[in-house]
């Protein structure tokens, strides 16, 4: 029967310069910045994906009605041509349309011997992480919990890179900015 999906939730990559990444993906290509995260130190999701995410930025750009591309910033790291050693930057997240479908996918995987590495509520999405048992590709099924679009962005980074702030607008960023909530639910809602 399989898992019902609706597209690519996100593909994650690694950058060592989020400012220039925003300038390229938003400024040149026109992809809206729809999620800005500044992850706390230590890593809030140890073991969810390979590598230490503590202190990194994680930004998402909308590339279609449903799909996004995401980047983790490791500012003090030389990003090699093969960035698989940095872990989080090499995974494919596939959208499932609902929480019920996410739980159905989890059961299907577990019933077929595929180990769920972790299940996380990120505030803007709920995800399960696992590995392709044949090719060892890091995979994620995720369901959106927030619109994460131009009309309703999920903006959590308290000090966004200048290009992101310019793309979104300082007043708009202030209105929609959320604050990190260590219980893993992303943050408080937008200011009134």
Residue 63 placed within a domain = yes
Overall number of domains in the chain:
1
CATH of the domain at 58: 3.10.180.10
49 or 37, higher pLDDT:
37
Most confident of 17-26, 59-68, 97-106, 137-146: 97-106
pLDDT at 182: 54
Residue 192 placed within a domain = no
Nearest to 155 by CA among 141, 140, 137, 171: 171
Calculate the alpha carbon distances from 176 to 70, 128, 170, 188 in Å: 19, 27, 10, 10
Q: Confidence class of residue 191 from pLDDT cuts 50, 70 and 90? A: very low
Domain assignment of residue 85, given as a range: 7-176
Residue 2 placed within a domain = no
Residue 134 placed within a domain = yes
Q: How far apart are CA 180 and CA 159, in angstroms?
A: 12
Residue 181 placed within a domain = no
Residue 1 placed within a domain = no
Does this model's pTM top 0.75? My answer is no
Residue 43 placed within a domain = yes
């Amino acid at each position: 029967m399989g898992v019902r999906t609706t597209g690519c939730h996100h593909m994650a990559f690694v950058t060592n310069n989020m400012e220039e990444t925003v300038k390229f993906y938003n400024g040149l290509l026109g992809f809206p910045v729809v999620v800005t995260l500044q992850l706390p130190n230590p890593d809030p999701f140890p073991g969810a994906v390979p590598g230490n995410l503590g202190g990194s930025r994680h930004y998402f750009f909308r590339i279609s009605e449903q799909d996004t591309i995401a980047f983790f910033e490791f500012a003090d790291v030389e990003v090699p041509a093969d960035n698989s050693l940095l872990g989080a930057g090499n995974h494919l997240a596939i959208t499932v349309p609902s929480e019920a479908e996410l739980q159905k996918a989890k059961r299907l995987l577990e019933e077929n011997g595929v180990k769920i590495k972790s299940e996380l509520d990120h505030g803007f999405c709920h995800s399960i992480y696992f590995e392709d048992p044949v090719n060892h590709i890091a995979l994620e099924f995720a369901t959106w919990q927030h619109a994460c679009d131009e009309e309703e962005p999920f903006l959590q980074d308290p000090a966004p890179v200048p290009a992101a702030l310019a793309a979104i607008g300082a007043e708009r960023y202030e209105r929609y900015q959320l604050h990190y909530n260590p219980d893993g639910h992303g943050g408080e809602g937008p200011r009134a």
